[in-house]
Amino acid sequence: MKSSALHRDTDLILSVEDVNKTFDGFKAISDLNFYLGDGELRTIIGPNGAGKSTFMDMITGRTRPDTGKLTMHKPDGHDIDLSKLPEFKINRLGISRKFQTPSVYTQHSVYDNLLLSLPRSRTLFSSIFYKESAADRAAIEEALETIRLQDLRHEIAGNLSHGQKQWLEIGMLLAQKPSILLVDEPAAGMTDDETERTGELLISLAGKHSLIVIEHDMTFVKQIARDGKVTVLHQGTVLCEGKFDEVQNNPKVREVYLGRGKAA
Ligand SMILES: Nc1ncnc2c1ncn2[C@@H]1O[C@H](COP(=O)(O)OP(=O)(O)OP(=O)(O)O)[C@@H](O)[C@H]1O
């Protein structure tokens, strides 16, 4: 039952099958199997060292699996073997990653940050002849609306709050129209209000994009998971998968994760 072909009926966008990764004799990822539906918002939790970052690193090509398959399923029916591709080519396929710390151009305005992130505009930006097109402006307006920073479009990004910077960076990634967006602990360091708004933002992206969100904050996980699936990683493999309540009440999860006092 591990053939990716068998899973095509269910509109998958990503299959990770029998993946292993060892660092200096330490098995960071162990027989990992994971399937992401097209348009799904999947939350991943797991204790420190469970392999969450390594998992994302393998999807984006930052780290190569020792064995196993990572396949992106394109809407046109083509399957692409990610394990053979360099990082920049995986990015060009529409797999984008948002790291935990915000990365924006602090000297530029919110608007110009979004302009800079549009495909092709970065190399042209410094040219005095560069003028954004109507399509560019429409894409920027759409991103501003999605991240709810319309009123701060002229603000210098360096002056934004931590949460606003995170939303801006998400907007910058969205300007590239990713198919799969990987988001690493978006709520870390945010106020409660910012956390809730971030949850609303991610929920609004599901359907248009497929998302994998790693998070430790259980209130936030509950907010974004809603009726969707939560995957629990432990010792480099999937310990269990299910709805938030099922996962939270699973004795194995409580033992390895919730029982360690990190969660609600
Ligand atoms: N480049 C590397 N070299 C050696 N060991 C590594 C490397 N990358 C990760 N590891 C080890 O693999 C294991 C999994 O690490 P990983 O960072 O993927 O876990 P994580 O679930 O993201 O943890 P955290 O929640 O603390 O970020 C850890 O024991 C880590 O020390």
Beta strand pairing call for 180-184 and 210-214: parallel
C-alpha dist (Å) from residue 241 to 12, 154, 178, 188, 247 = 16, 43, 25, 23, 7
Say what the pLDDT of residue 125 is: 57
Average pLDDT over residues 183-192: 94
- Atom number, ligand 1, closest to the C-alpha of residue 216: 25
Q: Whose CA is nearest to atom 2 of ligand 1?
A: 23
What is d(CA 178, CA 95) in angstroms, rounded to the nearest whole number? 6
Task: Read off the tokens for 52.
Answer: 């969450």
Strand partners, 96: 181
Task: Read off the tokens for 43.
Answer: 């939350």
pLDDT digits (tens, 9 = 90+) for 210-237: 999 999 899 999 999 999 999 999 999 9
- Distance (angstroms) between ligand 1 centre and the Cα of 48 equals 8
- Atom number, ligand 1, closest to the C-alpha of residue 51: 18
Instruction: Specify the pTM.
Output: 0.90
What is d(CA 137, CA 105) in angstroms, rounded to the nearest whole number? 19
ipTM comes to: 0.94
- Which of 20, 22, 23, when mutated, tests ligand 1's pocket best, judged by the most ligand atoms within 8 Å of its CB? 23
Task: Please tell me the least confidently modeled range out of 21-35, 83-97, 129-143, 183-197.
Answer: 129-143
Residue 7 has pLDDT above 50, yes or no: no
Q: Tokens 């990822």 appear where?
A: 29
pLDDT digits (tens, 9 = 90+) for 162-179: 999 999 999 999 988 999
Q: Is any ligand 1 atom within 6 A of the Cβ of residue 23?
A: yes
Closest CA to 136 of 175, 171, 103: 175
Q: Is any ligand 1 atom within 6 A of the Cβ of residue 117?
A: no
Q: Tokens 């495909």 appear where?
A: 119
